[in-house]
């Protein structure tokens, strides 16, 4: 057993918003599922991976992740047994993540306005004049592009 390795790494997108709950001593537990794709020459499939995080990482996941977010998660695979309300034993396999990295940039609705990009010096070597006449710009060819 000393040479075994239990390490999982996935990149995927959340299928719904994370669910967070707290233990009696105020420790956060966050659960979410990510869709990960798999492609062969003949077919393309999607698998759903259950992710659980604890503590500070759980709070970060609950605050910043939402449906559609792309994430990288790494952790260990675990299977836990629980009894449902009908008294039947149930088993759940999940990844207990110890690392999470948000990918894909900031979501559009949370984006803060950014300054407009600087206007390029050259517009193809010509500047528009009145009524569609064009004249060459005088200084666009002084600086090499490299």
For the stretch 37-84, pLDDT in tens is 989 999 999 999 999 999 999 999 999 999 999 999 999 999 999 899
If you average pLDDT over every residue of the chain, what do you get? 80
pTM value? 0.68
> Check: CATH 2.40.50.140 for 8-105?
yes
Residue 33 clears pLDDT 70, i.e. is over it: yes
Domain boundaries, the chain: 8-105
Looking up tokens 């970060």 gives: 60
Q: Which residues lie below 8 Å from residue 39, measured CB to CB, with a gap of 6+? A: 45
Structure tokens at 87: 């008294």
- pLDDT tens profile 118-143: 444 444 433 444 344 444 444 444 54
Which residues are CB-neighbours of 22 under 8 A, at least 6 positions away? 28, 29
């Amino acid at each position: 057993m000393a040479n075994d390795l239990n390490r999982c790494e996935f990149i995927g997108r959340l299928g719904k918003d994370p669910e967070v709950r707290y233990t009696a001593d105020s420790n956060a537990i966050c659960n979410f599922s990510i869709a990960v794709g798999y492609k062969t020459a003949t077919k393309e499939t999607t698998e759903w991976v259950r992710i659980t995080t604890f503590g500070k990482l759980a709070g970060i996941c609950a605050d910043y992740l939402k449906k559609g977010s792309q994430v990288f998660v790494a952790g260990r695979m675990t299977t836990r047994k629980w009894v449902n309300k009908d008294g039947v034993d149930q088993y759940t396999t999940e990844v207990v993540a110890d690392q999470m990295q948000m990918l894909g940039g900031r979501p559009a609705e949370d984006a803060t306005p950014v300054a407009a990009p600087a206007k390029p010096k050259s517009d193809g070597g010509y500047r528009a004049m009145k009524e569609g006449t064009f004249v060459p710009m005088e200084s666009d060819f002084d600086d090499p592009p490299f």
